[in-house]
Amino acid sequence: MAKIPQLFVYRTIYKGNHVIRTLLVLLSIFISLQVFAANTQGQYIQPSNLSPKVRIETNMGNIIIELDRYRSKIAANNFLGYITRGQYDKTLIHRVEEGYLIQAGGFMTNYTEIESDEPIFNESGNGLTNSEGTIAMAKQLNDAHSATSQFFINLNDNTNLDPGSSWGYAVFGEVIEGYEVLEAIAQVEVGYSEQLGYTTVPKKMITIIRVVILDEEKADE
């Protein structure tokens, strides 16, 4: 029987080891991506906590919001995902209407749009209403399931935003601290913004410095 050349054996072993190393590297990358995804998707953030709390830190003060995962799981987890990835940091409060609402989550401080995920299902029929102090998902007027990153806080009982003969705006939490900050923001002068093309933009920039998820223990103190 003919002998297999030694050089061929060495090359075969080398190639086999190279393939194994490549597979191990790819497996490591895949696992890392899965861990990263798990750490940046809302459903994995305090998964057993149905009422996680977050702090919105603005240049006019802090606002603490309690989310309602029980009745608005999709919107709450969506919001937590954006927070975890830091996508609300250094963004604008770009719409202020006294006695109505303040809106944010759409634009960076340089007026570029933030990178958003796929639109989510509209949970406006969850039993929560757009009452004063609640937070809800913004959406396109004629597209019920178009909400992505933008949200608003109601400054009044806005029953016109609740579902009726058509889809409403999904509420997913409420303000529990920082009403004085909301009142101060509501009083700012607004006008037309050439950069955004809106007429209710604060003339003096109001920014969200960052949004943080509070630890369960600290949130309960």
Exposure of 65 by Cβ count < 10 A (0-12 exposed, 13-18 middle, 19+ buried)? buried
pLDDT > 90? residue 19: no
Q: Residue 82 is part of a domain; what is its CATH number?
A: 2.40.100.10
The tens digit of pLDDT for each residue in 44-54 reads: 999 999 999 99
**Domain assignment of residue 19, given as a range:** 6-40
Residue 1 lies in a domain: no
Exposure of 209 by Cβ count < 10 A (0-12 exposed, 13-18 middle, 19+ buried)? middle
In the chain, helix, strand, coil percent, each to 5?
A: 30, 25, 45
CB 94 within 8 A of CB 198: yes
The tens digit of pLDDT for each residue in 114-140 reads: 999 999 999 999 999 999 999 999 999
The beta strand positions in the chain, using DSSP E, are 53-58, 61-67, 91-97, 101-108, 134-137, 151-154, 171-177, 190-191, 201-202, 207-213
User: How high is the pLDDT of residue 32?
Assistant: 37
Same domain for 62 and 21:
no
Same domain for 119 and 77:
yes
- What number of H helices and E strands is found in the chain? 4, 10
User: How high is the pLDDT of residue 160?
Assistant: 96
Same domain for 17 and 87:
no
User: How high is the pLDDT of residue 83?
Assistant: 97
User: How high is the pLDDT of residue 25?
Assistant: 47
Looking at the 3D structure of the chain, how many domains does it have?
Answer: 2
What average pLDDT does the segment 13-42 reach?
Answer: 52
Residue 107 lies in a domain: yes
Comparing 122 with 219, which gets the higher pLDDT? 122
Same domain for 210 and 187:
yes
Same domain for 134 and 78:
yes
User: How high is the pLDDT of residue 87?
Assistant: 97
Residue 195 lies in a domain: yes
Same domain for 137 and 175:
yes
Same domain for 196 and 100:
yes
pLDDT > 50? residue 70: yes
What percentage of residues in the chain have a pLDDT greater than 70?
80
pLDDT > 90? residue 91: yes
Same domain for 57 and 112:
yes
CB 136 within 8 A of CB 154: yes
What percentage of residues in the chain have a pLDDT greater than 90?
77
The residues that bridge with 95 in the sheet, in sequence order, are 103
Alpha carbons 143 and 162: distance in angstroms, whole number: 15
SS3 of residue 66 by DSSP? strand
pLDDT > 90? residue 210: yes
What average pLDDT does the segment 26-36 reach?
Answer: 41
Same domain for 117 and 29:
no
